[in-house]
Amino acid sequence: MSSETESKNLLSAFQLNDLKLKNRVVLAPMTRARAGKERMANDLMAEYYSQRSSAGLLITEATAISKQGNGWVNSPGIYSDQQGEAWKKVTRAIHDKGSIIFLQLWHTGRASHSAFHDGELPVAPSAIKLNGEYIHTPEGKKDLETPRELDEKEIPEIVEDYKQAAKRAKEAGFDGVEIHSANGYLLDQFLQSKSNKRNDKYGGSLENRCRFLLEVVNALTKIWPTSRIGVRLSPNGSYNDMGSKDYRETFTYVAGQLNKLGLAYLHVMDGVAFGFHELGEPMTLNEFREVFSGPIIGNCGYTQETAETAIKGGHADLIAFGRPFISNPDLVERFRNGWLLAADADMGSWFSFEKEGYTDFKFYNGS
């Protein structure tokens, strides 16, 4: 459980179980595609995270737990010992700045393509094609494919992939891990009735649809204490063709089940700026606060002012910032000093594979 040693505001310290965060600002996980074809963390990535290490908590970009989990060009992985070793330069850089960093664990599921998998189809809870225009692959833009439904006996193998990835994360020096169960990726696909039409123990009822996620959490507790494991959810999101009519019932149930586990935090994309399914009123942090008693991170579209309101009102304990952190590596200092924020970066540079649009943003006054 969390405790507070200072007044509640965005820049006050926060005790995240046994971890002392210097403020309540979180660097949101953002895929930035700088890991190269070998999907290895590198010096450029270490510089990027180090530049933003004034955040109380940093969460890495989504990191694939297996080759099967890949679905994004030049995103990092942690499914080999070499990849795990490469991440050490990032964790060292962050710890040298006195900051805390969690690794986000990722399997893209149907949000992938056979071009990532030597011609093998991507996998999903059910053989339902993601509705979208195209996907970027190592071979260029491709039409989306109907995924292969996972056999029940394959699911424990993926759970083991999560466990091994979490083990490598610990060996690489991370302070904890976040399970990516949001934004239409594999675990989210299992949670949501829109994408999960299974009739085995992983489909149908809320209990069954939540089973995979809970099995992953349980597997990770063999490596990490639950106080070092976070989970990310996106109850309002439409990204990757998500949004289920029973979203409110689903995510209330999921949060209630996670509440029993003593997690480090629940990371909720409560904003709608990333795409809203418009199936009803957006779920709020208050709804999650009613069923989840541990630390809550709010995310998506927050400003300094709205973040302060959420924290002072007790709706969230921490707030994650994404886009503002891209073009403002010194975002915390700008908040603290009332300095103007730089304009949002050109989206065309977000995934340039180079330092442009990544580590070349100026600190305040160009210093």
pLDDT tens per residue, range 188-217: 999 999 999 999 999 999 999 999 999 999
Residue 236, in any domain of the structure: yes
**Residue tagged active-site, from 48, 49, 162, 185:** 185
In terms of residue numbers, what domain contains 132?
14-366
Calculate the alpha carbon distances from 242 to 131, 232, 234 in Å.
9, 15, 9
Q: Using an 8 Å Cβ cutoff, are 261 and 282 in contact?
A: no
184-10-323-102 Cα dihedral, nearest 10 degrees: -50
DSSP β-ladder status, 148-149 and 123-124: parallel
Instruction: Please count the structural domains in the chain.
Output: 1
Q: Does the residue 22 lie in any domain?
A: yes
Start-to-end Cα distance in the chain: 39
Domain holding 230: CATH number? 3.20.20.70
Is residue 25 in some structural domain? Answer: yes
pLDDT over 90 percentage in the chain? 92
CA distances from 132 to 74, 121, 139, 241, 248 (A): 21, 17, 18, 7, 24
Question: Would the pLDDT of 334 be above 90?
Answer: yes
Q: How high does pLDDT run on average in the chain?
A: 95
Sign of the dihedral defined by the CA atoms of residues 150, 156, 159, 164, in that order: negative
Q: Residue range 160-187: average pLDDT?
A: 98
Cβ-proximal residues to 272 (8 Å cutoff; 6+ apart), any chain: 236, 282, 300, 301
pLDDT surpassing 80 at residue 179: yes
Confidence of residue 367 (pLDDT cuts 50, 70, 90): very low
- Local confidence band at 4 (pLDDT 50, 70, 90 cut-offs): very low
C-alpha 310/C-alpha 319 separation (Å) is 8
Does any domain span residue 8?
A: no
Strands 135-137 and 140-142: antiparallel
Determine, yes or no, domain membership for 307.
yes
pLDDT at position 346 is 74
The answer to whether residue 185 is catalytic is yes
Burial label, 85 (beta-carbon count in 10 A; 0-12, 13-18, 19+): middle
Does 88 reside within a domain? Answer: yes
pLDDT of residue 273: 86
b/e code 201-212 from CB counts within 10 Å (16+ = b)? ebbeebebbbbb
**5 is a domain residue:** no
